[in-house]
Amino acid sequence: MAKVVWVRFRPGDKLFYCNAADEIALQVGDSVVVETPHNLDLAKVVISEAQAPVHDPGAPMTLIRRAQPEDIEQAEQNGEKARDALVKCKEMATKLNLAIKPLLAHYNLQGSHLTIFFGAGERVDFRELIRRLSRTLKTRVELRQVGPRDEARLVGGIGRCGYPLCCQSFLSDFVPVSIKMAKEQNIALNPMKISGLCGRLLCCLAYESKQYAEIKEKMPQIGQEVSTSLGKGEVVDSNPLKETVTLKLEGGTRTELPLDQVNTEKTSKN
């Protein structure tokens, strides 16, 4: 077992774990300096003094120290430079007729490496753009294309639920989402209602999908004949969330009953 802490470099970013020296006391929310593949960078502690097996996938980064006031000041200055660099990137991309949408620019702590994230409808040859940016900004530049979901994470916004996007607040990794999940939850298949700001299916469709699937396995099928304390009836509707079944009883009366009051051993009518 190795003592590690989990950090995040940007809001909504993935979690990365770092080796932490015993003498460095850390708390959640502390700013720290981490050695990354692109030299030093500033991050925030998300989980402090966590224990993780040394064989966890991916090599851990090295946490150098708690961030000092001068580190935070330098990061703030880099943030201003990054905003200017993003504007310059947009201008140059327009001059080169590149169909890209620069989204976010980020300098490492020393300002020796600049990463620019962008969205595009297709693959783009941006080699000339990198050369021009490197000459103008006098630093190493890396352009990184992201997909629609990562684009929404970088830009941010408010979801149809009225809360900040999950991907920018707590969702570190995207999980596959399918139209089947919406069907299982009896959600109207209206693209405008089941799509997020990214244009893809809502991530929240996956949150309760497993529970809905498990409950539906216990629910009788529409049209199935069942028996209850009120007599025999035909299933005309079901509510997995409430775990209730709507029945058409003999005589035409309709009633809604909890699932545990319905005998589901009957088979479907021929």
CATH of the domain at 232: 2.30.30
Amino acid 56: pLDDT = 52
State whether 110 and 134 are in the same domain.
yes
Q: Are residues 108 and 88 in the same domain?
A: yes
> Which of 146, 165, 191 marks a domain boundary?
146
CATH of the domain at 130: 3.30.300
Answer yes or no: is 270 within a domain: no
- Residue 57 within any structural domain of the chain: yes
pLDDT score recorded for residue 59: 72
Residue 213 included in any domain: no
* pLDDT tens track for 106-149: 999 999 999 999 999 888 899 999 999 999 999 999 999 999 99
Same domain for 140 and 80, yes or no, is yes
Residue 260, pLDDT score: 86
Pairing of strands 61-66, 16-19: parallel
Last residue of a domain, one of 25, 45, 66: 66
For 45-63, what is the mean pLDDT? 68
Q: Domain check: are 141 and 155 in the same one?
A: no
pLDDT bin (cut points 50, 70, 90) of residue 175 is confident
What is the mean predicted confidence (pLDDT) over 95-116?
94
pLDDT of residue 242: 85
Token pair for 115: 């990463």
Two structure tokens written together for 74: 């330098």
- What does the pLDDT read at residue 1? 44
Do 35 and 90 belong together in one domain?
no
Question: What per-residue confidence (pLDDT) applies to 173?
Answer: 80
Q: Is residue 134 located within the same domain as residue 82?
A: yes
Q: Is 189 within the bounds of a domain?
A: yes
Confirm whether 126 is domain-assigned.
yes
How far apart CA 212 and CA 158 sit, in angstroms, is 26
For range 213-242, the mean pLDDT: 87
Greatest CA span in the chain, whole angstroms? 84
Q: Is the pLDDT of residue 269 over 50?
A: no
What's the CA angle centered on 88, arms 85 and 93, to 5 degrees? 125
Rounded alpha-carbon distances, angstroms, from residue 96 to 127, 128, 132, 142, 173: 11, 8, 10, 17, 34
Q: Give the pLDDT band (50/70/90) at residue 270.
A: very low
Written as one string, the DSSP assignment of 71-92 is: HHHHHHHHHHHHHHHHHHHHHH
Report pLDDT for 51: 53
- The answer to whether residue 88 sits within a structural domain is yes
- The mean pLDDT value for 254-268 works out to 76
d(CA 270, CA 265): 15
- Count of structural domains, the chain: 4
Average pLDDT on 232-244 reads: 87
In a domain? residue 266: no
Q: Answer yes or no: is 37 within a domain.
A: yes
Instruction: Provide the residue count of the chain.
Output: 270
Residue 266 has pLDDT above 70, yes or no: no
Quick one: pLDDT at residue 114? 96
Average pLDDT over residues 58-72: 88
Beta bridge partner(s), residue 18: 5, 61
Identify the domain boundary among 10, 43, 66: 66
Angle ∠(115,8,54) on CA atoms, nearest 5? 110
Same domain, yes or no: 171 and 129: no
Q: What is the mean pLDDT of the chain?
A: 87
Quote the domain boundaries for residue 92.
Answer: 72-146
Residue 254 scores a pLDDT above 60 = yes
